[in-house]
Structure 1
Amino acid sequence: MVRKTFALALLGLFAMPLWAADCAATIEGSDAMQFNQTSIAVPKTCKQFTVTLKHTGKLPKASMGHNWVLGHAADESGILADGMKAGAEHDYVKPDDERVVAHTKLIGGGESASVTIPMAKLKAGEAYAYFCTFPGHAALMKGTLTLGM
Structure 2
Amino acid sequence: MKKLAALTAFALISLNVSAQEAEVATIELKPHASNPLGYDKTDLTVKAGQKVKLTLNNTGSVAPQPHNFILVKPGKDQAVGAQANAMMTDPQAMAKSYVPDASKDDILANTKLVMPNGTETIEFTAPAEAGDYPYMCTFPGHWLLMKGVMHVTK
Give the TM interval when normalised to the shorter protein.
0.7 to 0.9
* Stretches of structure 1 lacking an aligned partner (at least 5 in a row): 1-14
- How far apart are 1:53 and its partner, in Å? 0.4
Answering whether residue 139 of structure 2 is matched by residue 134 of structure 1, we say: yes
Please give the residue correspondences for 1:90-129 in structure 2 after superposition, counting only pairs within 5 Å.
90-95=96-101, 97-119=104-126, 122-129=127-134
Please give the residue correspondences for 1:1-149 in structure 2 after superposition, counting only pairs within 5 Å.
17=19, 20=22, 22-30=24-32, 32-44=36-48, 46=50, 48-57=51-60, 64-86=65-87, 87-95=93-101, 97-119=104-126, 122-149=127-154
CA contact (8 A) 1:71 1:100 kept: yes
TM-score w.r.t. structure 1 length?
0.73
| Aligned-pair identity (%) | 23
TM-score w.r.t. structure 2 length?
0.71
More helix by share: 1
Q: How far apart are the structure 1 equivalents of 2:152 and 2:21? A: 14
Distance 1:39 1:67, change over 3 A: same
CA contact (8 A) 1:22 1:43 kept: no
- How far apart are 1:73 and its partner, in Å? 3.2
Q: CA RMSD in A?
A: 2.4
* Stretches of structure 2 lacking an aligned partner (at least 5 in a row): 1-14, 88-92
Q: How far apart are the structure 1 equivalents of 2:115 and 2:75? A: 28
